[in-house]
Amino acid sequence: MKVALVGYGRMGVELEAVLKTRGHEIIRRVDALGNGDVTVLDSAALEGAEGIIEFALAEGMLERIAIYSAARLPVVIGTTGWESLAVKAREIFEAGGNAGRKTENGTKTAAGAKPGGTPGAALLRGSNFSLGAHLFFRLTAFAATLINKADEYDAALVEYHHNKKADYPSGTAITAAEGVLASLDRKTHILKDLPDGPVPREALQVASVRVGAVPGIHEMRMDSPADFLTIRHEARGRGGFALGAVRGLEWLRNKQGWHEAEEFIDDLLI
């Protein structure tokens, strides 16, 4: 495939290496910070592309979603920090990039409307595309079901990343926490920031550490007065993330519509 990379930081460099290894061609590197071939994402930047992979900053995500939908290409998005915009982003994508925008006759397109349809447009979204991270998601969710009736066990998550990472908690940590929260009845909400006093028992704390060059460590700790258990995923580098994203694009190329990473991983595992 001829691939356009949107965002050309450390992950972009890693993606380029994996893409070349798997026989793909990088036709353009789009980076707002000036590290690529062009700084502006528009239709010209995507000309000639057969697929897109984005690992960029969350700022401007809705505008980029509209561009991707209009381009009618498969796109893998590994950018994190825009979870609260996901519903609106999907509306824009499924409306062909025009959700809530005025049409030529002055009316607004409805959420979910598909003016002209979106043939060829496909999007795969995930906080993490590495197989190991998804095994971590499933193991932590299952562990939560095991301690659901064992009230003596408390649970929390901790994530460590390099000191250049802008968002916190990481998208991977939030995904894991959502799985635990769904399986552990005594936890009612996720606590992302520092608590004002003791952590309430009903809060599932997700703590973040930013230090050095850590590519990514995620832990779930289950703690009781008698003992504790830890489930830990530690990335050796960015290679696993990059390989998963490239395989995700290969998986997406003959599909249409909005997809979550769990669908892609299911096809790998089942």
Alpha carbon of 41 to those of 29, 57, 98, 128: distances in Å?
Answer: 10, 13, 17, 23
Which tens digits make up the pLDDT trace of 51-68?
A: 999 999 999 999 999 999
Average pLDDT of the residues in 79-108: 74
Residues 172, 161 share a domain? yes
Residues 135, 124 share a domain? no
Q: List the domain range (segments joined by +) for residue 151.
A: 131-234
Question: Are the beta carbons of 96 and 117 closer than 8 angstroms?
Answer: yes
Question: Are the beta carbons of 52 and 4 closer than 8 angstroms?
Answer: yes
Residues 114, 244 share a domain? yes
pLDDT top residue among 183 and 116: 183
Catalytic pick among 24, 134, 161, 233: 161
The rounded percent of the chain whose pLDDT value lies above 90 is 84
Residues 96, 168 share a domain? no
CA-derived radius of gyration, the chain: 20
Q: Which of 57, 82, 50 is nearest to 6 (CA)?
A: 57
Residues 42, 121 share a domain? yes
pLDDT in the model for residue 115: 37
**What's the number of domains the chain is made of?**
2
24 assigned to active site: no
pLDDT band at 105 (very low <50, low <70, confident <90, very high): very low
Residues 203, 176 share a domain? yes
Residues 114, 65 share a domain? yes
162 assigned to active site: no
Residues 110, 38 share a domain? yes
Which tens digits make up the pLDDT trace of 12-32?
A: 999 999 999 999 999 999 999
What's CA 86's distance to the chain center, in Å? 10
pLDDT band at 208 (very low <50, low <70, confident <90, very high): very high
Residue 119 has pLDDT above 90, yes or no: no
> DSSP character for 110?
P
For the beta carbon of residue 86, count every other beta carbon within 10 angstroms.
14
Catalytic pick among 88, 114, 165, 192: 165
Residue 83 corresponds to which tokens in the numbers above? 């979870």
Residues 143, 93 share a domain? no
Tell me the pTM.
0.82
Residues 107, 97 share a domain? yes
Residues 139, 174 share a domain? yes
Containing 268, the helix (H) or strand (E) segment is helix 261-269
Residues 246, 229 share a domain? no
